[in-house]
Structure 1
Amino acid sequence: MLTLADKTGSQTDAEARPHAVVIGSGFGGLAAAVRLGARGYRVTVLERLEQPGGRARVHRQDGFTFDAGPTIVTAPFLLEELWRLAGRRLADDVALVPMDPFYTIRFDDGATFAYSGDPDRMQAEVARFSARDVAGYARFMAFSREVCRIGFEELGHVPFGSVGSMLRIAPDLIRLSGHRSLHAVVARFIRDPRLRTVFSFHPLLIGGNPFRASALYGLIAHLEREWGVHFAMGGTGRLVDGLVGLIRSQGGAVRCGAEVARITVADGRATGVALADGTEIPAAITVSNADSAYTYGSLLAGGSRRWNPRRLARARSSMGLFVWYFGTRRKYPQVGHHTILLGPRYRELLADIFDRKHLAEDMSLYLHRPTATDPLLAPEGCDAFYVLSPVPNLAGGQDWADLAEPYRQRVQARLEATLLPGLSQALVTSRVTTPQDFADDFLSVRGSGFGLEPVLTQSAWFRPHNRSEAVANLFLVGAGTHPGAGLPGVLSSARILDSVVPDARSCACPSTDRSARRAG
């Protein structure tokens, strides 16, 4: 065996700390690294791409800055806690500004709903669409508050590692209609079809079908009202840079261009990772921020009785995402920071995407114009945009090498006919990301945008556990484990490590030196 010495060639006191390896540098992996560093581990984050962030990477071209993934911050206290754990303040590194409204929902007939966190303004918006639904809206928000209290505040950072843990919440699950879909529960409170759409679409933000996702995801409405919706000045990439800085300030490392080929296992325990170049990196604990289906299906080569190849093949993956990033030589001041542009169909379009896996002619779009808040993300006098269209994942068999440009043109035509007149003449830069890119770049199974679909039978105990039941010393964070996708979800998955990973300063974890081994 060839030993590759570390940069100093000697082992310092810091290097004698138990070593933790984190696979992937998405928000879940970066948050996990900060938390482990605060609890005495020496942490190495391994990222196969050339920049950290995972789905939150940044594209820079022609003077424009495009956040590739998350565009908003909810529950900012989860980020503030990470900075405190590293002895810093979030506000010293990143400026978060509140969105008002959170977003504008535009229906196919041109009617708009301004969705905000102000109760009086929201009640007025509801009344403008349907006065008879004002009381029902108030009841729905009371429901959302209770679901948020239990589902997020009490259980969002609690591991579901046993059947008993699931059974203990069963009474609350039934009482809060967790066995019903969110749209079905919204329909109990609200009669107007357009308002039912307004208050049921939130699961789409985390990869779920509102007609199938558990009503527990109704918590998002209260979560947004309680803690607001924010934008990070400079883009979400500033948060990634800040987290990388925290890890390094703790003595940890973030290595890009380091592809993990497998998790090494001995006597039923994870012992570290092997890289694609043959290098082996030993670790006392291993944390995977990779797609959970990829973790079990590839990094462990199906080495789990519960998450075996047959189970993974039957699992439901979230939808795919088509994202077009573009810049214009002119500004569109009439367009807000966030706009949800709905098509003529709701239920049927979602059935095409999630069930039939059919790429429909019509579409609904999420349009992000960050330069409405931060003009410095584009050259002077220009606007930067990101438009996302939910599409089938790769199980639909679409060949995106052929479809990407025709579909982009359809998205462009839809935007030009509604929100962005003159778009064709105004374009100065453009790039797209398809479900195939999610599979190639992020190793996302079926090219899904958010990992496993958030249905009840793939939530909590039914989801891959934060502490692997297959291999000791292996832990999972990110969208594919409990509690699920979305920035609050993946940050909470890292928070769970505090209760399932022993503190390095008091546990019997074996220390591992910093050397890496190359087979051969």
Structure 2
Amino acid sequence: MSTTTATTPGLRDAEALSFAGLRDAGHHDGASPGPRDGAPHAVVIGSGFGGLAAAIRLGARGWRVTVLERLDAPGGRAYVHRQDGFTFDAGPTIVTAPFLLDDLWALCGRSRADDVELRALDPFYQLRFDDGATFTYSGDPVRMRAEVARFAPGDVDGYDAFMRVSEETCRIGFEQLGHVPFERLGDMVKLLPQLARLQAFRSVHSLVARHIRDPRLRTVFSFHPLLVGGNPFAASAIYSLIAFLERRWGVHYAMGGTGALVRGLAGLIAGQGNVIRCNATVAAIDVRDGRACGVRLVTGETIAADIVVSNADTGFTYRHLLPPEARRRWTDRRVERARYSMSLFVWYFGTDRQYPDVGHHTIMLGPRYRALLDDIFRHHRLSADFSLYLHRPTASDPSLAPPGGDAFYVLSPVPHLDSGTDWRVAAEPYRAAIERALEATLLPGLSRHIATSRVTTPLDFRDRLLSLRGAAFGMEPILTQSAWFRPHNRSEDVPGLYLVGAGTHPGAGLPGVLSSARVLDTVVPHASAFV
């Protein structure tokens, strides 16, 4: 068995990252023509899903685009680790609202299905309580009512009422407003009546509790904010939209892993005639006469640009890539005083046997719910107990493991680095505790069958992904850090600077970061305006 940490570079063929390699990997015969020579230039910092989507949207509107990625391969948080014959997606692993991806392929005159297969999962996931009881979560209303009735027959009507609220919230909060920039306070004020009707002032858990009485079912229908870095007891009830979003568009898996989507998007960029440069770390955003005019790399190289789009952590962008004199709203003090999401401990492991009874997505709930979340979000302390998300992609795609084996990813929400935890010391005991918990429940004999192993800790989010405090999702998604209150997609401080990704509007999660790039269609002029 080999064991590594995520700070060890993944196995990569540098040649595959060349312009030609990306284009060939995407099979882009007949793709839309690239921008003409002399077109206005946009630099995109970071190649997470937000940065890749931004590059494609800009390219489709006539921009010449250079994407700069500090890692040795595109993807950002969606990096891919390959080790001992196993393939591990660093994340995300849940694909929802796939039409947002289809739109990107359509902008290039292509069909996403020609490059990447998205397989709908049924069920979406299974929730396992500490006492061994399970709830099978799907998009089928009839089956879901039956599952609710198994736990609490009296809550079936309440479940239906909650889903009606989730549907309306999804229609307004996601479909109508998810791609609309909130650049003026008045934009927020106009929404106050709708926000009040949707009870945005409540937490997700509070909203669920108004409709559902059973404590375990309250957990089942309130955990979704954790998927975007939020505490169900503090995240605005607006995030209840996730429940209906999943029902309407389903939960999908990209065959070949999430990395297949990254490769497909990178291929679209190459097909537009644009460039992704890896191993290119941005040290600063250049500002001249108050306007972003390019970037400087750690090597000293400068790259001029008409606009700069940052897919880097928003706090890091303002705190470390811009000079203090260029900032009025997002000062050091404001960035430091913001509330940040939890971090993650992730253990990737492969086994030399298969566990066919384990589904694709399993949520293992620990003995505490609210108290554990208080430890993570309020007290910033690492608890001895935990709740886990177990991902077994080989349940759908055996190609990610050698024959006869399984690939796994187990994630534990943990406090960000304000906890003071020394993860260089704590990582292995914490991993071992998770191994024991899995062996005692879903994965018997696990310790005897581990073929490869690696971990990611909050230190990796800070040092490798440059997230302030090692927060996995940027700023925490609470009402006072949402919409107008969140860092804007068009920088309030520096003209010519734009933001995409989890830390800007509308927020984290794959639909959120793809929607943040969609906002650029509204706030960034067409390239012809710069000619």
Q: TM-score range by the shorter chain?
A: over 0.9
2:420 pairs with 1:385 = no
Which residue in the other structure is 1:517 paired with?
none
Q: Counterparts of 2:69 and 2:316 in 1: how far apart (Å)?
A: 15
Matches within 5 A, 1:74-85: 74-85=96-107
Of 260, 267, 271, the match for 2:293: 271
Question: How far did 1:72 drift?
Answer: 1.5
Deviations 1:59-117 (A, max 9, x none): 00000000001001100000000000011110000000001100000000000000000
Q: Counterparts of 1:90 and 1:382 in 2: how far apart (Å)?
A: 30
Matches within 5 A, 1:216-295: 216-295=238-317
Which residue in the other structure is 1:433 paired with?
456
2:229 pairs with 1:202 = no
Matches within 5 A, 1:397-416: 397-416=420-439
Question: How far did 1:13 drift?
Answer: 7.6
After superposition, the Cα gap between the structure-2 partners of 1:242 and 1:13, relative to the gap in structure 1 and judged at 3 Å, is closer
Of 469, 478, 495, the match for 2:501: 478
Matches within 5 A, 1:262-411: 262-302=284-324, 303-411=326-434
Of 68, 92, 114, the match for 1:70: 92
Question: How far did 1:268 drift?
Answer: 1.1
Q: Counterparts of 1:73 and 1:390 in 2: how far apart (Å)?
A: 20
Instruction: Find runs of 4+ consecutive structure 1 residues off by over 3 angstroms.
Output: none
Aligned residues between the structures: 498
Letter in 1 for 2:79: R
Deviations 1:208-250 (A, max 9, x none): 0000000000000000000000000000000000000000100
Q: Counterparts of 1:298 and 1:231 in 2: how far apart (Å)?
A: 35
Deviations 1:409-431 (A, max 9, x none): 01101111111000000101000
Question: How far did 1:15 drift?
Answer: 2.5
User: Partner of 2:139: helix, strand, or coil?
Assistant: coil
Letter in 2 for 1:464: P
Q: Counterparts of 1:161 and 1:446 in 2: how far apart (Å)?
A: 27
Question: How far did 1:168 drift?
Answer: 1.0
Deviations 1:430-487 (A, max 9, x none): 0000000010111000001100000001000000000001010110000000000000
Which residue in the other structure is 1:514 paired with?
none
User: Partner of 1:262: helix, strand, or coil?
Assistant: strand
Q: Counterparts of 1:104 and 1:208 in 2: how far apart (Å)?
A: 20
Letter in 1 for 2:329: R
Q: Counterparts of 1:480 and 1:437 in 2: how far apart (Å)?
A: 18
Q: Counterparts of 1:490 and 1:241 in 2: how far apart (Å)?
A: 17
Deviates more, 1:233-242 or 1:297-306: 297-306
Which residue in the other structure is 2:475 paired with?
452
Letter in 1 for 2:451: V
Deviations 1:304-343 (A, max 9, x none): 2111111111101100100000000000000000000000
Of 462, 485, 500, the match for 2:523: 500
Matches within 5 A, 1:42-61: 42-61=64-83
Deviations 1:135-155 (A, max 9, x none): 000000000000000000000
Q: Is the Cα–Cα contact under 8 Å of residues 381 and 419 in structure 2 kept in the other structure?
A: yes
Q: Counterparts of 1:325 and 1:14 in 2: how far apart (Å)?
A: 44
Q: Counterparts of 2:131 and 2:401 in 1: how far apart (Å)?
A: 31
Q: Counterparts of 1:327 and 1:83 in 2: how far apart (Å)?
A: 33
Matches within 5 A, 1:87-106: 87-106=109-128
Q: Counterparts of 2:221 and 2:35 in 1: how far apart (Å)?
A: 54
Q: Counterparts of 1:353 and 1:13 in 2: how far apart (Å)?
A: 47
Q: Counterparts of 1:72 and 1:454 in 2: how far apart (Å)?
A: 19
Of 123, 144, 156, the match for 1:122: 144
Deviations 1:355-400 (A, max 9, x none): 1111101000000000000001000000000000000100111111
Letter in 2 for 1:390: P
User: Partner of 2:407: helix, strand, or coil?
Assistant: strand
Structure 2 unpaired stretches of 5+: 1-18, 20-33
Letter in 1 for 2:515: S
Matches within 5 A, 1:120-199: 120-199=142-221
Q: Counterparts of 2:35 and 2:413 in 1: how far apart (Å)?
A: 50
Deviations 1:256-310 (A, max 9, x none): 0000001001111100111111111001111000000001000013432111111
Q: Counterparts of 2:146 and 2:36 in 1: how far apart (Å)?
A: 58
Q: Counterparts of 2:268 and 2:204 in 1: how far apart (Å)?
A: 38
> Identity across aligned pairs (percent)?
69
Deviates more, 1:12-21 or 1:444-453: 12-21
2:444 pairs with 1:421 = yes
User: Partner of 2:232: helix, strand, or coil?
Assistant: coil
